């Protein structure tokens, strides 16, 4: 299946650019950003990208922010294509990596949606200080 | 076959290693063999965190052959990673056995006299000498950043390097 990343500004392009550093052959993916040309222009470009994507197969739209314009426009498309389209908000890099891999091998929208939610949530963590300094795991390494 | 991947990577342990490579070659532990890394305590702590659930051993080149021998004899599966091609050429000279295949991933930290071979590999004349030593020792050198990238061979890249 296919992925459309929709965001404010160039966040979507940056996410897709970064994805190619981590996954050599992800699912087909396009980025559509809301820019200074405004909402009507964005709506047209998003609809065109999603139509092209749906022509190739089921599609997951990853939007950057719940309630933001990219999400709202994606949601409108979801209402029109509930059988073949899913939408998530809060797209982040851990989510995109796992979705990029999973969607390459799956046509199950809800399975990939589950991967997105789990990876996106699980990828948000705080750094913690180690219990001690670096010590070789020599004792049980081999 | 206790050593499942030997890799040159100047970022040593990072997301590509711990997610993409572990997915296709499951491993229990990572051996990092590098004088430069072993001498840097802060870097060692960062690598320990980066290794996550994988066990980690960091060794100098001099300690390398013994660590490799232990890994080869172990039922566990190991990645062996170093930050330069020269280190693997020296390990081979020291009698270290990490298998017949050497994967070359990231080599794009800033260094003198490098040529960009594409796909995050920058080589200089010293690398060419080390790669020739490894090839002469019978090591199959595979330039491959990610598991689903196609493999580029040393003869292929050497021809490209010499033409640049």
Query: Would you state the pLDDT for residue A13?
Result: 98
Q: Which of B11, B7, B144, B149 shows the shortest CA–CA distance to A26?
A: B149
**Predicted confidence (pLDDT) at residue A139 exceeds the cutoff of 80:** no
What is the overall mean pLDDT for chain A? 94
The C-alpha atoms of residue B60 and residue B82 are separated, in whole angstroms, by 10
How many structural domains compose chain A? 1
The C-alpha atoms of residue B123 and residue B127 are separated, in whole angstroms, by 6
Spatial neighbors of B88 by CB under 8 A, at least 6 apart, are B6, B8, B82, B98, B102, B130, B134, B139
Where are the domains positioned within chain B? 3-163
Note whether residue A32 is domain-resident: yes
At A29, which CATH number?
3.40.50.510
Total beta-carbon pairs less than 8 A apart between chain A and chain B: 47
**Burial grade of A72 (CB within 10 A; 0-12, 13-18, 19 or more):** middle
According to CATH, the topology of domain B3-163 is: Fructose Permease (3.40.35)
Query: What average pLDDT values come out for chain B (164 residues) when binned by 10 residues?
Result: 92 88 95 97 92 94 97 96 98 97 94 92 97 98 94 97 96
Active site residues of B: 14
- For the entire predicted model, the pTM comes to 0.84
Query: Would you state the pLDDT for residue B19?
Result: 84
Inter-axis angle of helices A69-80 and A38-56, to 10 degrees? 40
Looking at the complex, does the CB of residue A25 fall below 8 Å from at least one CB of chain B? yes
Strand order through the sheet with B101-104: B55-59, B29-33, B78-82, B3-8, B101-104, B140-143, B152-153
Tokens at residue B113, please? 């006299």
Q: DSSP per residue over A73-108, as a string?
A: HHHHHHHH-TTTEEEESS--HHHHHHHHHHHHH---
Banded model confidence at residue A138, pLDDT cuts 50, 70, 90: low
Structural domain range at position A6: 2-123
The C-alpha atoms of residue B159 and residue A123 are separated, in whole angstroms, by 42
Judge: B57–A141 Cβ closer than 8 Å, yes or no.
yes
Residues of A in contact with B48 (CB under 8 A): 130, 134
Note whether residue A128 is domain-resident: no
Judge: A142–B71 Cβ closer than 8 Å, yes or no.
yes
Tokens at residue A119, please? 């990876």
**Burial grade of A17 (CB within 10 A; 0-12, 13-18, 19 or more):** exposed
Q: How many angstroms separate the CA of residue A90 from the nearest CA in chain B?
A: 21
Tokens at residue A76, please? 């409108």
Judge: B55–A137 Cβ closer than 8 Å, yes or no.
yes
Query: Would you state the pLDDT for residue B148?
Result: 87
Q: Which of A63, A73, A85, A86 shows the shortest CA–CA distance to A6?
A: A63
Q: How many angstroms separate the CA of residue A26 from the nearest CA in chain B?
A: 10
Q: What residue has token string 């292929």?
A: B156
Report the percentage of chain A scoring pLDDT > 90. 86
Note whether residue A138 is domain-resident: no
Q: What residue has token string 């550093």?
A: A21
CB atoms within 10 A of CB B62: 12
Judge: A22–B74 Cβ closer than 8 Å, yes or no.
no
Q: How many angstroms separate the CA of residue B38 from the nearest CA in chain A?
A: 11
Nearest Cβ partner for A141 among B15, B16, B29: B29
Residues of A in contact with B30 (CB under 8 A): none
Judge: A23–B73 Cβ closer than 8 Å, yes or no.
no
The C-alpha atoms of residue B56 and residue B32 are separated, in whole angstroms, by 8
Looking at the complex, does the CB of residue A142 fall below 8 Å from at least one CB of chain B? yes
State whether ipTM is beyond 0.85. no
Nearest Cβ partner for B57 among A97, A130, A136: A136
Looking at the complex, does the CB of residue A137 fall below 8 Å from at least one CB of chain B? yes
Looking at the complex, does the CB of residue A104 fall below 8 Å from at least one CB of chain B? no
CA distances from residue B124 to A2, A32, A125, B134 in whole angstroms, order as listed = 40, 39, 39, 15
Judge: B19–A25 Cβ closer than 8 Å, yes or no.
no
Contact B105, B92 (CB under 8 A): no
Q: Which of B142, B7, B18 shows the shortest CA–CA distance to B81?
A: B7
Note whether residue A140 is domain-resident: no
Tokens at residue A68, please? 């933001």
Q: How many angstroms separate the CA of residue B48 from the nearest CA in chain A?
A: 7
């Amino acid at each position: 299946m296919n992925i459309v990343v929709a965001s404010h500004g160039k966040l979507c392009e940056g996410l897709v650019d970064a994805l190619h550093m981590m996954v050599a052959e992800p699912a087909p993916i396009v980025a559509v950003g809301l820019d200074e040309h405004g909402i009507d222009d964005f709506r047209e470009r998003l609809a065109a990208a999603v139509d092209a994507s749906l022509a190739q197969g089921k599609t997951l739209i990853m939007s950057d922010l719940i309630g933001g314009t990219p999400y709202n426009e994606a949601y409108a498309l979801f209402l029109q294509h509930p059988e073949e389209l899913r939408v998530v908000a809060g797209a982040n890099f851990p989510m995109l990596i796992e979705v990029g891999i999973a969607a390459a091998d799956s046509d199950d929208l809800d399975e990939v949606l589950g991967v997105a939610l789990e990876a996106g949530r699980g990828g948000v963590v705080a750094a913690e200080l180690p219990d001690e300094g670096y010590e070789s795991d020599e004792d049980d390494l081999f | 076959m206790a050593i499942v991947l030997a890799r040159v990577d100047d970022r040593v342990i990072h997301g590509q290693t711990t997610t993409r490579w572990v997915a296709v070659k499951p491993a229990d532990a990572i051996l990092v063999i590098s004088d430069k890394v072993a001498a840097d305590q802060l870097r060692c702590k960062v690598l320990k965190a980066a290794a996550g659930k994988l066990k980690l051993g960091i060794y100098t080149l001099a300690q390398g052959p013994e660590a490799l021998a232990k890994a080869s004899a172990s039922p566990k599966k190991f990645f062996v990673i170093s930050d330069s091609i020269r280190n693997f050429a020296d390990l081979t000279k020291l009698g270290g056995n990490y298998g017949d295949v050497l994967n070359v991933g990231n080599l794009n930290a800033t260094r003198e006299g490098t040529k960009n071979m594409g796909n995050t590999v920058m080589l200089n004349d010293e690398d060419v000498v080390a790669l020739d030593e490894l090839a002469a020792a019978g090591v199959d050198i595979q330039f491959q950043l990610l598991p689903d990238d196609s493999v580029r061979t040393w003869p292929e890249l050497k021809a490209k390097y010499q033409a640049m």
